[in-house]
Structure 1
Amino acid sequence: MLLDYKNFIPAEAIPFVQFLIYEHSFVLKIVNQRQTKHGDFRQLQHGKFQITVNNNLNKHQFLLTLIHEIAHHVTHQKFGRVQPHGQEWKTVFQHLMLPFLKPEIYPLKILPHLANYLKNPKASTDTDVNLSLALRGNSAEDGKHFIFDIPQGDFFEFKNTIYKRGHKRRTRFECLNMTTKKVYLFNQNVEVVKINS
């Protein structure tokens, strides 16, 4: 079943998104949540192009992901095969996002973080902790907690594995995998399930 993307983005963004879809000719599919990515872009066997975006994103995350993927498509059209998140993609993405950088589309609590991220956009918005938290309204999914809310020394579950939260390094937390006894680094905005002791 094809879902209408207009229900997934801020109303003020619809005209320009419609223009981009018309101008660049691709199939947009809204799909169930994937753990490893918010969206993707690919060329299908018959030569058409497809963009997919997860259906669990809020309107601001969905719009940013959609433009991120459209930027891949435009970069492919203009430059052919280049580094996926290289300078060509960054420039195209920055250019495509400009019309959306206004308070009618992105609230003022998100705009400064979004503008800062767009100075040098990375492959995933989740790597920018401030933007990631702002896009989520600084609240974790129901039943989950951000890792920075877990007290040091307490246990939590992440992807069916128990960890013990350790010290904070500069930007990430050291966490001990209780099965393998190996230490892993977690970004501050990772959502985990707290284990009550």
Structure 2
Amino acid sequence: MIEKLAKYIPKNALNLVQEILEKHPLVIKIVNERTTKHGDFKRTIDNKVQITINNNLNQYHFLITLIHELAHFVTFKKNKRVKPHGIEWKRNFQHLMLPFLNPEIFPQDILPLLANYLINPKASTGSDVKLMQALNSYDDNSGKSFIFELPHGSRFLFKNKIYKKGNIRRTRFECVEIKSKKTYLFNQNAAVEIIEHNE
């Protein structure tokens, strides 16, 4: 398993990840990008457990997502049925993530933001705008902008569809898909290709 993960996570994190997987063995599948989530933990029909993680994440984002999902598994093993991102999960995530808070694993621009996020981790790293900006800076987003950077009313391209940016609703932007006129919620850190500014 660790051989499969080696190309997705920082080299200096491999031994720590291997230690966790030796204590908590399970199936990890690397899958094509899903727009609604970076990873998930679930029980399969035959009552086994597995983690899936998107293959398009940069090595730092992939590692955080992996530990996030492993914390779900550890929480499930210890507590069975509890809130998915309740206090038990938060504690397990913090405990598992702590050894990775290391300048040999994460760059200096991510470390303090990640440490701050871990004080009270949320269901999605996307809820922490500064951390996501730092993580996204290591993506290959050539020619793309983040939705929160675009002026209200801008048109942008996302997955071959054109949208118009609308109002913010809590942490996401309401964006209308031009062709269908349907409204979709976009994470403010979604990387999109701007077409035009238009109030």
Whether these two folds match at TM > 0.5 is yes
2:52 matches 1:52:
yes
Aligned to 1:81: 81
**TM-score when normalising by structure 1:** 0.84
Moved over 3 A (4+): 151-154, 165-188
C-alpha spacing 1:56/1:3, structure 2 compared with 1 (3 Å): farther
Aligned to 2:154: 154
Gaps of 5+ in 1: none
2:136 matches 1:136:
yes
Superposition RMSD in Å: 2.8
Q: Which amino acid aligns with 1:38?
A: H
1:103-182 correspondence runs (5 A): 103-137=103-137, 141-158=141-158, 160-163=161-164, 165=165
Q: Which amino acid aligns with 1:162?
A: Y
Distance in 2 (CA, whole Å) between partners of 1:99 and 1:171 is: 30
Q: Would the aligned equivalents of 1:103 and 1:111 in 2 still touch at CA under 8 Å?
A: yes
Aligned to 2:5: 5
Aligned to 1:71: 71
Distance in 1 (CA, whole Å) between partners of 2:167 and 2:50 is: 43
Q: Would the aligned equivalents of 1:140 and 1:191 in 2 still touch at CA under 8 Å?
A: no
Q: Would the aligned equivalents of 1:33 and 1:56 in 2 still touch at CA under 8 Å?
A: yes
Q: Among the aligned pairs, what percent are the same residue?
A: 55
**TM-score when normalising by structure 2:** 0.84
Distance in 2 (CA, whole Å) between partners of 1:171 and 1:69 is: 22
Which SS does the other structure have where 2:37 is aligned? coil
Distance in 2 (CA, whole Å) between partners of 1:48 and 1:168 is: 39
Range 61-70 or range 185-194, more displaced:
185-194
Gaps of 5+ in 2: none
Which SS does the other structure have where 1:122 is aligned? coil
- Matched pairs, number: 195
